[in-house]
Amino acid sequence: MAIPLGQKAADDQAGKRREPVRFSAAFAGGAARAADGRKALRAVLARAADVGHPPLSPTAVMDAELVISELLTNAIRHAPGPCGVVLELSGTEVSITVWDTSPREPVPRPPDEGRIGGHGLRLVNVLSHRFVTVPHALGKQVVAHVRLLPDRTQGALSGP
């Protein structure tokens, strides 16, 4: 089920080589769970120090977990057939890609404080510094980039 992808080296600000950490998994229709995405994300982020990445902000890690949960849940609920995730830790951010078979671009619902659910894409927009949808022949990829800086002070889950 999990398919490791190739790695390429990147330079950090001090000029030292830093290896990106990449992970990919595909799920048959109905087999994906948001918990699987969070588990994979935690495994990728746990390798950060091993390959020379700076310390990760605990708040940013929680933000990234919420982002992958929301994106994978949307794929499970709104797209028929298989779906998958691709995670890449590079520099001071993690790229979270969720692909599915639906050609429809996700659209945030209007705010409604009385509604239960339907707030996920608005959260993803707040927690990600970049968020795009990439259509392809078999559906789409939704990509969110979350910064993992140790001094992170932004994000919906951040305190005062």
- Virtual CA dihedral for 41, 46, 50, 54, nearest 10 degrees? 90
pTM here? 0.80
Domains defined along the chain, listed by start:
17-109+118-147 (3.30.565.10)
Around Cβ 118, how many Cβ atoms within 10 Å?
A: 12
Q: 160: which 2 tokens?
A: 């005062």
Query: What does each of the 160 residues of the chain score in pLDDT, given as a tens digit?
Result: 343 433 344 444 555 556 678 999 999 988 889 999 999 999 999 888 787 777 888 899 999 999 999 999 999 999 989 999 999 998 889 999 999 999 999 888 887 788 787 778 889 999 999 999 999 999 999 999 999 876 545 444 444 4
